[in-house]
A and B are shown apart, each in its own frame.
Chain A
Amino acid sequence: DSGVTQTPKHLITATGQRVTLRCSPRSGDLSVYWYQQSLDQGLQFLIQYYNGEERAKGNILERFSAQQFPDLHSELNLSSLELGDSALYFCASSVGRGGASYTFGSGTRLTVV
Chain B
Amino acid sequence: GQQVMQIPQYQHVQEGEDFTTYCNSSTTLSNIQWYKQRPGGHPVFLIQLVKSGEVKKQKRLTFQFGEAKKNSSLHITATQTTDVGTYFCAGRPTNYGGSQGNLIFGKGTKLSVKP
Q: Count the A residues whose beta carbon is within 8 Å of the partner chain — how many?
A: 24
Do residues A56 and B42 form an inter-chain contact, with CB atoms below 8 A?
no
- Shortest CB–CB separation between residue A3 and chain B, in angstroms? 12
Stretch at the interface among A12-20, A42-50, A61-69, A78-86: A42-50
B58 contact set on A, CB distance < 8 A: none
Q: Count the B residues whose beta carbon is within 8 Å of the partner chain — how many?
A: 23
Given A42-B106, A101-B48, A2-B42 contact (CB < 8 Å): yes
Chain B proximity mask over A30-49: 1 for CB below 8 Å, otherwise 0: 00010000001111010010
- Shortest CB–CB separation between residue B88 and chain A, in angstroms? 7
Chain B residues in the interface with A (C-beta under 8 A): 33, 35, 41-45, 48, 88, 90, 92, 97-103, 105-108, 110
Chain A residues in the interface with B (C-beta under 8 A): 2, 33, 40-43, 45, 48, 56-59, 90, 92, 97-99, 101-107
